[in-house]
């Protein structure tokens, strides 16, 4: 996963499962989703909903 995203998730107490549920993945699919990159649309959704105070570039570098 992305280092800065992981740091900010930890800082805010957000779990991976919460992000994957927000994106519409079922819990049994989240392990597969972790192994792949997010789409640009997913990146925008994650940033806007969970981390609006950070830039996309920072979170997903």
Q: At residue 29, does pLDDT exceed 70?
A: no
Domain that holds residue 48: 3-59
**Cα Rg of the chain (Å, integer):** 11
What does the alpha-carbon distance between residue 28 and residue 13 come to, in Å, rounded to a whole number?
21
Backbone angles phi, psi at 43, to 5 degrees: -60, -45
Handedness of CA 10, 27, 58, 6 (dihedral sign): positive
Q: How many domains does the chain have?
A: 1
Question: What is the rounded average pLDDT of the residues 42-46?
Answer: 94
pLDDT at residue 28, rounded to an integer:
59
Q: What is the SS3 assignment for 28?
A: helix
pLDDT at residue 37, rounded to an integer:
75
* Residue 19: closest CA among 3, 33, 36, 35: 33
CATH number of the domain to which 44 belongs: 1.10.260
Please state, for a pLDDT cut of 90, what percent of the chain lies above it: 56
Residue 46's pLDDT band (cuts 50, 70, 90): very high
């Amino acid at each position: 996963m992305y280092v800065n995203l992981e740091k900010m998730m930890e800082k805010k107490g957000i779990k991976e499962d919460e992000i994957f549920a927000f994106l519409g993945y079922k819990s049994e699919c989240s392990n597969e989703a972790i192994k792949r990159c997010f789409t640009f649309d997913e990146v925008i959704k994650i940033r806007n909903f969970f981390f609006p105070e950070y830039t996309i570039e920072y979170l997903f570098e």
